[in-house]
Structure formats: C-alpha cells, structure tokens
Amino acid sequence: MDDVYYEKILYRILQGRLRLRLGDLVLFVEEPTADIIEESFEIYDKAYKEAYYNKVPIKEELLDILIDNNMWSPLDDKTAEKIEKEIEEMKLQAFEKFYDTRFLNSIKMNLRKKEEDLYKTKKKKLALDHTSCEGVASFSRSLWVLNHTTFYAKNHKAYDWQHLTVHNLFDLYMSKQIKYESIRYISRKDPWRSMWSLGKKSCGIFNRDLMDTTKDQHTLCHYSIMYDNIYEHPNSPNDKVINDDDCLDGWMIKQRRETEKNKKQQEVDALTKNSKIANSQEVFLMARDQESANEIYNLNNPHAKNLVKQREQQIKNSEGNLNFKELIDIKQDIAVQSHQQALQGAKTKGRGRR
Amino acid sequence: MAFNQRIFYACQAVAIAPRGTDPVAATHVVHGVQSVGMTSTFTLEQVFELGQLEIYENVEEVADIEVTLEKVIDGYKTIYNLASNGEAANSIVTAASKRCDVYVAIFDDTLDNATGTPKSVCMNSGMAVSSVSYNYSVDGNATESVTLVGNDRFWNSVTAGVIADSPINIWTDGGGQADLTGTAGINGGDTPPSGVVRRADVDLANSTLPSEVTSQMGDDAVGLGGGYHVQSISVSCDFGQELIQELGRFGPYTRYATFPVEVTAEFEVIATSGDLVSVSGNAPNLVDRSIIIKDTAGTVLNLGTKNKLTSVSYTGGDTGGGNATVTYSYSNFNSLTVADGGQT
C-alpha cells in the first residue's frame, strides 16, 4: 500500500464518513450520531422480540445445535486459547530476533498462518450467530442505521434508495471497513502524527465533541496514545521495531511480562518478611480455603508452576519408591551443581599447572 | 529486591511430633503458622585421577535439610516447645538434644480447610532445633521463628527404608486424621486461645528487665508496658547443631549443639534522656542482669540471671524528624527457657 492509500483512509476517518462513488451516483455514508445510535437500540429491541416470538433461537441455544452438527465443540475454545498463546510467543520471538531478517520473515509467515487458524477456529462458534435473535436484531439495527446515515453527496439530502437496496449498500459498506492494521500504520506516520501533536496542544483534532467522535477516530486516538507512550518509555525500542507491528507487539508482551513478574515479586517479598523463609527454596504459605490456595499457587512464576506440577505427577506415579532426591528437578540441580564443581575443579587444576 | 527461584506451596497444616511418632495427632499440630521455608543443600566432592580428564567419581555427601517456621504467638504451644518435646521450658541442653519429625501437608484444591486427606505430605525426619527467635514489636504481631535442621525428607508414601511408615500414612492413620480434622484440629473455626499477641499484650510490668532498659521510664504508665517506652524486643539463640560422623555409616551418627551457645536479647527503647549508660576505664562497668519477658498469652522467655550488656546504640533524633531510640543488646550463654500458653 502506498502513502496515498493511507492518506485517503486518514481523511475518511477525519471526515467521519465513507464517500462512495457508484458511476454518477456519489453517496456519503456517515458515522451515526449519538441520537441515531440511541434510537437504533429501539429497533434492536423490537426486532429481538419479534424474532423471539417467532421461535428464533437465542445465542446460547445455538451452542447445542453447533455441537450436535459437529460445527463447534468446547475443545475449539481451548484450541483458540492455545493458538493465541502461540501467537504471543511468536511475536515475542519476532521482537527478540528483529535484526535477523530471514528469521523474522519466517516467523511472520508462521504468524499469518496462525492468525488465519485462530480466525477460522473462532469463526466456528459464530457460524450460526446471524440466525439467532441477537443476530437478527443486530442486523436490523445495522440496516436501520445505514438507512438513516446515507446521503447524497451533492446536496446532503437523505438517500431515497432508488438505485440500490439497503442490503446491497450494507454489503458494500462492510467490504470497505477500515482494518486495524491500517489505522495503526496511520497513527505512527505523517501527516497524522503532526496533526496529532499539534491537535493535542490546541483545541482538538476532529472539530467535534468527544461524544460525536466516530469509532475509527477513537481507534486512531488510542493507537496514537499508545505510540506516544512507547516513544516516551525509558527503554523505548528502536524505530525498526516500532515500525513493525509484530515486533512491537512482542516488545509490549515482554514489557507486560516483566511488569507482572516484578509486581508478583513485590507481592511475594511483602508476604515473607522472615528473610530465612523468603530465601528458602520452597516456601509454604498457609491457605485458608481454595481461593487462597489458588492465590498462593499463582505466586509461582511459570517455571515454578511447572515444577509443582511435575513433582505432583511424579509423587502421584511413584508407589513407595520416591525419595526426595529422586525428584526430577532435584536430580537436575545436583547434576548442574556437579558439573559446575567439576568445571571449577578443572579450572583450578589448570591454573595450578601453569 | 533479590529474586531467587522459589516454589510456593499452599500449606494445609503443619505438625511437629517427637521423632518416630505414628500417627500424628491433634496435639502435634502447630497453630498460628504464617509461613514455612524449606531448603535442601547437596554436597558433592569430585575425585579425579592422574592421566584422566574425566571425573573419576563424584562423591555425594549427606544432604542438609533446613526448615524454618514462623508463627504468631497466640496461646497455643510454641514451635520450640513442640520441636523439643516440651523441653523448651526446662533446659536448653535437653531441648537442643531432642529430635522431631516436621510434617507439612499441602493443600488440596478441592477443600475449604484442612480437612480430609491432604494431596501431599512432606515429612522432614529427625530434625533438631538449630535456632530460635522471638520478636515483639509495636507494629504487627509477636512472632516466633524456629529453624530446624536434619538430613532426611520424604514425600507421601516414601519410607526409603529409613522410617517405619510413610508420611501420608502417619498423617492419616488411626485417630490421627479424625483428630486433625475434628474439633481439635484446624477446621475453619480455629481461633487463637489468648488472641494473637500484639503490643498491648506484652506484659512488661510483670517482666524482669535490665535496669538500663527501664531507665528511660516516664510517669505515664498505662496498661502493661510499665511506662518503659519499649519499642521492640527480640530474643534469639543459634544452637549450631553440627554433625558427628562415624566410619561405616553414610548418615551422621548424631548432631550436637555447639555449646556454649549465645543467647541474645535486644531492646529498642525511645530515648527520653540519652542512653544513660556510664562507662569508666578504671573499673568494670557491667553487672549481671536478669531478663524474663512475659506476655498475656502465657509465654515466658527466661534468659536467666547472667545477662551482660554487650552494646548500646543511640540512633535517630536527626533533623529528619525521627525519634531518638536506644538499642540495648544483652547476651548470656546457655540460658534460655521458653514456657508457653500450653494449649494444643
């Protein structure tokens, strides 16, 4: 995409409307005002009731239908969670290896594949949404809003639907939705960046009240604030990372994890004031109930959590033969200690020979 | 904020029983435990041989196990009392020679309190008291901290040919389980018999304190503080506990406290008129002081009659606005008995 493309989108966002040219016909599809949005919920409620009395299923009921027809299962939710975690890890890798272009390209390819998988997995659950009361009501509302926000460009009179139906226009409108990636790109580039900097210091950017700003304008502001914060961060990444969405996501994931780790560490340090206990390998904190037990287990970092699970499993599987020294992690510790001591011994001997 | 690799467990209950007790009973449960820390240290010794780069043998020595427990002082038996099989109140020598088994039951996620069979039980066998400390402060609860050392640890169903029965069986056998989970045990309704000891419960008026400590006295004695303006008291003792090995045996033959052991006591007092300690180079300055510290939970820390002032430090009172405090440190050797509220 070239700069003109993004500039075109920027001005669409600034104007808060979509300009549609269909031959000689030029239409404006404007973003709904607060009045229209407020009224549109009446349409939603009315359509919902009608659908409900006509025995259209509600969204919750669709889950059974999806399961019965092998269209979705609760396992898909778990798969989606797993893919999301994989995506997070890959983004982190992308940040950590941003200088290795070949590796980065390969990660990006895998990322796009995973994102597609995630989309497909999540889509399964939504496959019949349009047939639910909520889906029908939501669609009716969208059409009503479109009906009240479409105008002739030449005289700004309400469109009379002589040339195309509201359904046709709805499809066209949906196909021209602005992608988040595009808004994100715009938010860190000129000319928007200059507008943003100046607008913050003057009277605003969109020349309208906050209540009347559009969804895309909100998104653009959110991204702009995010980039402001990144530029002002004491460990701000370099421009190559900032300009690459995947790498920057990875940087943010890393920052988030470090913050969580520090926060957890502070919580833990506050809990165990006795320095002997605080510096022990295993710390046992009294739990009153299941909730507090879970909170205590959550104090563990991922590595310690795995150790707890691993130990539990090993203790469970052993029938009277497990000595504490046989715990896998303890054996590993002993092996590492042995290796380090051997290494140290060899170095000392080497120095002695010289 | 040092970060070390720690594993946190949700603890269901802690019990300390005389060595070899089977099953564990409600009388062995430690009440008011705040946290427990366990550490194991392995010692390896490399043997090399001439002409070979590879190690000849990596010899493993006896592993050291250390368990530190901290509880609030609450009228229940103290950890030191349980670990020394009641000898804490009689003699430091006998108390240091006693061995106990320390059980830590790990919380089962499906339970609301320490009832039922625990998911895992960790048993530290043959533990000896290595150090004890007691802290009273104007902020927070009065606490007891005890460190025990040993060489054996077992999980759940392990006996390893060393102990007669497995930890999980000892915990759950016979009446043990019923006692631990019944009215006598930690059943969700457990409350401290005397209430948790806080500043107002430290009975300094009936304690025996060195005259230096009471010298900052004002004329506004209210409650049990005696008007001494004491901010904190800490008493501690490190027993050492060294191993004795013998030929033909991997484990230690015994452990012994490295007598004489030093017992220290520190009193931090708000300074109302300097530290009031005169020092002369022409004659001895110190006399033996008796120290007995009491609280309303029934705890009596008796440090005997031969405590000598080892240091005085005067701090604070600077331009930052902090109060001036005097810290008096005393020490004796081999004299510490601890009586408690005695409830089990």
A109-113, A124-128, A307-311 — which one is most confidently predicted on average?
A109-113
Question: Which of A281, A289, A324 lies nearest to residue B113, judging by beta carbons?
Answer: A289
On whether residue A13 sits in a domain, the answer given is no
- Rounded to 10 degrees, the C-alpha dihedral A230/A234/A235/A241 comes to 30
Say whether pLDDT at A348 is over 80.
Answer: no
On whether residue A305 sits in a domain, the answer given is no
Residue at which a domain ends, from A137, A155, A177: A177
On whether residue B5 sits in a domain, the answer given is no
**CA separation (Å) from B323 to A4, B142, B316?**
70, 22, 6
CB contact under 8 A, A277 and B5: no
Residue at which a domain ends, from A112, A145, A177: A177
The domain containing residue B100 runs over which residues? 11-339
Question: By C-alpha distance, which of A256, A28, A40, A272 is closest to A150?
Answer: A28
pLDDT recorded at residue B183: 43
Dmax of chain A from CA atoms? 99
CB contact under 8 A, A274 and B166: no
If one compares B167 and A221, the residue with the highest pLDDT of the two is: A221
CB contact under 8 A, B9 and A282: yes
Q: How far apart are CA A299 and CA A123, in angstroms?
A: 35
On whether residue B230 sits in a domain, the answer given is yes
pLDDT recorded at residue A1: 66
B chain contacts of residue A353, beta-carbon cutoff 8 Å: none
Q: Which residues of chain B have pLDDT under 50?
A: 1-4, 110-112, 114, 159-160, 162, 174-179, 181-184
Mean pLDDT, range A293-308, rounded to an integer: 81
pLDDT recorded at residue B272: 82
**pLDDT more than 90, % of chain A:** 15
Q: Token match 């005002």: residue?
A: A33
The number of distinct structural domains making up chain B is: 1
Question: By C-alpha distance, which of B274, B293, B328 is closest to B209?
Answer: B293
On whether residue B1 sits in a domain, the answer given is no
On whether residue A93 sits in a domain, the answer given is no
On whether residue A337 sits in a domain, the answer given is yes
CB contact under 8 A, B66 and A307: no
- Tokens representing A230? 């990144």
On whether residue B2 sits in a domain, the answer given is no
The domain containing residue A155 runs over which residues? 32-71+127-177
On whether residue A286 sits in a domain, the answer given is no
Q: How far apart are CA A287 and CA A285, in angstroms?
A: 6
On whether residue A107 sits in a domain, the answer given is no
Provide the whole-model pTM: 0.67
Question: Which of A282, A322, A324 lies nearest to residue B7, judging by beta carbons?
Answer: A282
User: Model confidence at A16, in pLDDT bands (50, 70, 90)?
Assistant: confident
The number of distinct structural domains making up chain A is: 2
pLDDT recorded at residue B344: 60
On whether residue A91 sits in a domain, the answer given is no
On whether residue B6 sits in a domain, the answer given is no
**E strands in B138-244:** 143-150, 152-155, 230-238, 242-244
On whether residue B3 sits in a domain, the answer given is no
User: Model confidence at A114, in pLDDT bands (50, 70, 90)?
Assistant: very high
A chain contacts of residue B156, beta-carbon cutoff 8 Å: 315, 318, 322
On whether residue A147 sits in a domain, the answer given is yes
Say whether pLDDT at A35 is over 80.
Answer: yes
Question: Which of B39, B112, B154 lies nearest to residue A281, judging by beta carbons?
Answer: B39
Mean pLDDT of all residues belonging to chain B: 83
- B63: closest chain A residue by CA: A325
**E strands in chain A:** 17-22, 25-30, 150-152, 282-286
- Buried b / exposed e along A171-203 (16+ C-beta atoms within 10 A): eebeeeebeeebbbbbbbbeebeeebeebeeee
Q: How far apart are CA A317 and CA A324, in angstroms?
A: 14
pLDDT recorded at residue A157: 85
Q: Check the CA dihedral B284-B285-B290-B291 and report its sign.
A: negative
pLDDT recorded at residue B217: 73
